[in-house]
Amino acid sequence: MEEQVVLVDEADRAIGVEGKMAVHRSGKLHRALSVFVFDAGGRLLLQQRASAKYHSGGLWSNTCCSHPRPEEDSLGAAKRRLWEEMGVACELSKAFEFTYRAKLDNQLVEHEYDHVYFGRYDGLPVLNRDEADDWRWVEMSQLSADVERNPGAYSYWLAACLGRVVAHRKAPAYGSI
């Protein structure tokens, strides 16, 4: 059975469930999550999406991104997927939410209400090769500059929310992450 995603309205209220590929072909708004894990020095753990992924394969992206299952809360899904994709377990805190719509490769459309979480981890990831081909730690200033110079090397959603990630990390509540 195809993986199901939660369809939502503009206020993130669930309005239904549909198959993931059908939703990405039609461009319906659905719930998603993005995780940004930082080390003690403030570097971000990036993943290079597996080249075999159904879209955005081979692009560099935030630490983890996915969709909650029906009846699963976003925080639980974020922790589950962070472990499944990167072999990383850490505390996560909600940073912000945003909505975006983007035409991707393979004639797919991402239209997501994205819940963004921050975490801290100082170990080494253990990649699930079905999800990620590579990883690296990167300074935020270097990442911002490289996304500006080479936008085609990064996932759309990373570039779309990077400014907000930087701004939220400067906020007092996130000073230690």
Catalytic annotation, residues? 65, 112
Return the structure tokens found at 28.
């319906």
C-alpha–C-alpha distance, residues 115 and 100, integer Å: 11
Contact 82, 63 (CB under 8 A): yes
Phi, psi at residue 5, to the nearest 5°?
A: -120, 160
